[in-house]
Structure 1
Amino acid sequence: MEFNSMFKNNAEESTGLLFIRTYNKWHGKIKSALSDLGITHPQFIVLCTLNYLSQFEKHITQAKISSESEIDVMTVSQILRTLERNGLVIRKQSPLDSRANSIEMVSQGLEVISKAVPIVESIDLEFFGTLGSELAQFKDSLRKIANVTSVRTKD
């Protein structure tokens, strides 16, 4: 039976394959570094998003974290439950909406994220720095792809 692919003679031309290989290499480095701090990559994203949003807002909801990180609400909820159990965040009833919780980072969470961010950023610099002067164009391309994808999923 014939392999029904436009890339059957050269898999290296498959954008999806190249993307997932690149992602897996980058993610492996991130995952390994974060495991030393006792958090997963999704937990890092939620903590980092919470820390980022805390610069601008006092009461941050799970829905806001979900929207900013583009992680679905139920997954964010599960991650927050784990982070709360591990003593990195607390959830309180939001004074702005009685149906929502306000998520707050506690000192242990701030300690973890303050160690994790420089580590992840240094991995990003090393990994994507191989692009040199093409890095800005690469980021623009990623934004373009992400925006097209976001528009399509809202329809």
Structure 2
Amino acid sequence: MENLEVWMRGPIAGIPDLLQPVAHALLQVGEDTVKYTQQLSPEQLWARPCGNASIGFHLLHMSGVIDRMFTYAAGQSLSAEQLDYLRRESIVDMELDVATLVQNLQLQIEKALQILAAVDPGTLTEERFLGRKRIPTTLIGLLFHAAEHAQRHVGQLLVTARCLK
């Protein structure tokens, strides 16, 4: 069953039925990220072939997006630390290595799964707001966006990794 994608392996224990697709997508992000970043050098981590964003950026951004969307889902505004993290996502930091960035993403995914497990499905259509402009959305919209946005960045990360090999 390990060769199957996460969504094909069945329900994730403890996650409400309506949030299974979010959990599956987040777990797939974690697995794919590990697979596509193995054996990358520090130079490859921060390289920008053809002007594409670096793999380091994608790893930082996926963690940040999941954190931010789940913060908005909780009805909260971003903290000063989260805003600082957002500003630093596109800065090359040779002190950061692949293992640390992947581990940080895994921890963010685990935190997201714990939050998903506690969501009352009856609240999924409740209004929430995105960003400083307070763009109206819903709880399920924010949770789904966290997962699908991270998946998009895995795809971009994969293309960049293939260009570097």
Using structure 1 for the length normalisation, give the TM-score: 0.27
| Structure possessing the higher radius of gyration over alpha carbons | 1
For CA contacts below 8 A with separation 6 or more, give which structure has more relative contact order.
2
Using structure 2 for the length normalisation, give the TM-score: 0.26
